[in-house]
């Protein structure tokens, strides 16, 4: 599908081509009532910013839940993938060593722990 280069570009028609979706600016701060405020900048069709106010204990629960959700869907760090690949290769290498008949006088490879 080619991109429409005219001024009547419809963003909904090109969902796969949009690589940076719109994201409203978000601020987190304390208000005078000692509550945590999550404030998001108003969209072009809204009259004001969006506010969420939480007592500190509830804010901590929300923050923990957000981190839990993010971490449950986040890709594994490169180091974790590299470690998993290394273990796989070592296991595969070891299985080939175990299966191969040893010839008299041959030197078997040593797998480091």
pTM: 0.53
Q: Mean of the per-residue pLDDT values for the chain? A: 80
- What residue segments make up the domains of the chain, in order of their start? 23-54, 57-99
pLDDT band with cut points at 50, 70 and 90 for residue 18: confident
How far is the C-alpha of 26 from the C-alpha of 40, rounded, in Å? Answer: 4
Q: Which residue has the higher pLDDT, 70 or 6?
A: 70
Q: How far is the CA of 48 from the CAs of 33, 38, 70, 74, 83, in angstroms?
A: 21, 14, 28, 32, 49
Q: Quote the pLDDT of residue 57.
A: 98
Residue-wise pLDDT for 65-113, tens only, equals: 999 998 888 676 666 677 777 787 788 777 766 665 555 555 545 555 4
Which is more confidently placed, 73 or 64? 64
């Amino acid at each position: 599908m080619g991109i429409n280069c005219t001024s009547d570009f419809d963003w909904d028609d090109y969902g796969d081509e949009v690589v940076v979706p719109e994201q409203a600016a978000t601020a987190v701060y304390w208000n005078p009532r000692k509550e945590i405020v999550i404030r998001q900048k108003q969209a072009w069709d809204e009259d004001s910013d969006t506010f969420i106010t939480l007592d500190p204990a509830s804010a901590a629960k929300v923050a923990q839940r957000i981190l839990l959700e993010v971490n449950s869907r986040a890709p594994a760090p490169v180091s974790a993938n590299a470690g998993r690949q290394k273990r796989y290769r070592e296991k595969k290498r070891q299985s080939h060593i175990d299966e191969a008949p040893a010839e008299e006088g041959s030197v078997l490879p040593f797998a480091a722990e």
